[in-house]
Amino acid sequence: LDYQHVQVPFEITLWIMLASLAKIGFHLYNKLPSVVPESCLLIFVGLIMGGIIYGLNDKSPPVMDSDIFFLYLLPPIVLDAGYFMPSRPFFENMGTILLYAVVGTIWNVFGIGFSLYGICQVKAFHLQDVSLLHNLLFGSLIAAVDPVAVLAVFEEIHVNEKLHILVFGESLLNDAVTVVLYKLFRSFCEMPTIKSMDVFAGVGKFFVVGLGGVLVGLTFGMTAAFTTRFTKEIRVIEPLFVFLYSYLSYLTAEMFHLSGIVAIIVCAMGMKRYVEANISLKSHTTVKYFMKMWSSVSDTLIFIFLGVSTIGENHEWNWPYICFTVIFCLIWRALGVLVLTFFVNRFHVNTITSKDQFIIAYGGLRGAICFSLVFLLPDFHRKKLFIAATTVVILFTVFVQGMTIRPLVDLLAVKRKRESAPTVGEQIHIRFLDHLLAGIEDISGHWGQYYWKDKLEYFNSKYLQKILLREYDQPKSSIVLLYEKLERKHAIELAEAGQLGHAPSHPSLVRSGFLCSNNDRSVITDKKLEVTLNPDVLENIQEILARNLYRIRRTGPAYNRHTLPGETEPTEHAKEILILRHQSL
């Protein structure tokens, strides 16, 4: 037995396997997932596992490594979120999201920090040694809403799209603020004196970290799109580039102390439309599927590790401090949302209702990012207190808020996500209005959202598409693309139901069990079989065979590492059909 040799990959594989099996287990009982969010169950599994490890080894189970979290577990989730981000609602509410993410987070950090400092002054709690700076540092890590936790809960409660994007967008974009404030306070803690220069430098850093992330993301996204122009000959490695470039954007941003989350989101959103147009349909399915799979596994692992890391002796249970942390987190977030929304509503026609405000405030879940940040703190004598407080806040938000938010949404009758897609009429109206508003803004000299969107679209179709797309003929409008997609889907369904137009397939009709219960129909089919002997029809069949014979030629069963069996160029097929049809006319 040589366990040492294979230990690292073996244990990683086993952890992933455990996570996947846990996921399967929950979904075996249909009722469980509808009552308890998956994140709670996974933390619970983690707690049990941690307890077992603790019981067996009699020492604290291993804590989730912050490096592993930030370098390997977080990027897939953020990439998935960025790639599948509904871009229209995101950009429409950009201003509000940024306000919540930047001003709201700063508000929370200072609110929580100062009020906890106040609590520390109460002599009965024995907390006088926690300085203001330490409290602010703690505030900076506990204030940030966590995208992983928010996603895990919000995707199950199906609130309306605007509300969803407000909370989710905030949780993604506050990363830049959190990074800056956390690093600022941490360096202040280690400095002997703080000059006013340092504070100003900190403010300047905001813009560097955020905009730097955007720049890094854009660069890598455009490079990725450009690279996929040249992958026509080797379809199999196309999906790789999507992952490689977005991961590189994250790592590069982290390397330069910029916001990695912002970088990877910008990269994913930027490359999506060009990559989609360049790569093959199968590659795109793989990209989408693998992204979902990866983020799903990462997310499962994070919650399980969160549970495992909770068990142990890393905590200092000073209950007053912990309880006040939970309370202040709730209060300051609620206040912040109220105040900010007041200003937002004054400038918008579509106001945020008070119900929505409640859900925004209540949906401010904390998660693994806080947890990793608190373990990254430099060692000082109250670190264990901060760890305990963070753990309790996370468990409270995920368990109590996460489990009650669904009943609350039901109770308040918060506006839900519309189930049906917009009709074609609505879509045409939306597009028409966009153009109209862009025109009005242009005439009135107001450079608003629609004006910029129009300009961007122009720039895109004039320059970007020519550089980044492989087959740039004319821009296909989205409605044509939709039509093609529906047509293809329809065809597959018809084939599966066994009723393709040209060659009615008798066996498939019989197999479907439909004919057996319907006598009239079977008579028709019998008649059809008789008719088949008719010379006209025979000729017709021969023609169909001649037209489709190319299919037979292609199905070679050979093994090849670079191609998938039966994979051929769809355009070539279509061309061949057209040529054959031309000849047969």
Going by C-alpha positions, the residue among 273, 268, 256, 278 that lies closest to residue 217 is 268
Q: How far is the CB of 10 from its own copies (least distance, A)?
A: 5
Q: How far is the CB of 463 from its own copies (least distance, A)?
A: 23
Q: How far is the CB of 436 from its own copies (least distance, A)?
A: 23
Distance (Å) of CA 191 to CA 45, 112, 120, 181: 42, 22, 22, 15
Give the span between the Cα atoms of 57 and 77, in whole angstroms: 32
Length reported for the chain: 585
Rank residues 348 and 490 by Cβ distance to its own copies and give the closer one: 490
Going by C-alpha positions, the residue among 294, 328, 232, 324 that lies closest to residue 83 is 294
Q: How far is the CB of 223 from its own copies (least distance, A)?
A: 10
Helical H runs in 445-477? 449-459, 465-468
Backbone phi and psi for residue 474, each to the nearest 5 degrees, phi listed first: -130, 150
Rank residues 345 and 525 by Cβ distance to its own copies and give the closer one: 525
Residue found under tokens 């100062």: 114
Give the span between the Cα atoms of 52 and 47, in whole angstroms: 9
Q: How far is the CB of 421 from its own copies (least distance, A)?
A: 4
Helix, strand, coil % in the chain, rounded to nearest 5: 80, 0, 20
Going by C-alpha positions, the residue among 191, 247, 223 that lies closest to residue 75 is 247
Rank residues 6 and 191 by Cβ distance to its own copies and give the closer one: 6
The set of long-range contacts for 470-474, using a CB threshold of 8 Å and a minimum separation of 24, is 470/228, 470/229, 470/230, 470/232, 470/277, 470/278, 471/277
**DSSP secondary structure letters along 155-172:** HHH-B-HHHHHHHHHHHH
Rank residues 143 and 258 by Cβ distance to its own copies and give the closer one: 258
Rank residues 199 and 524 by Cβ distance to its own copies and give the closer one: 524
Q: How far is the CB of 446 from its own copies (least distance, A)?
A: 29
Q: Strand, helix or coil at 402?
A: helix
Chain center to CA of 76: 9
Q: How far is the CB of 170 from its own copies (least distance, A)?
A: 15
Q: How far is the CB of 472 from its own copies (least distance, A)?
A: 16
Rank residues 240 and 323 by Cβ distance to its own copies and give the closer one: 240
CB 267 within 8 A of CB 223: no
Rank residues 248 and 340 by Cβ distance to its own copies and give the closer one: 248
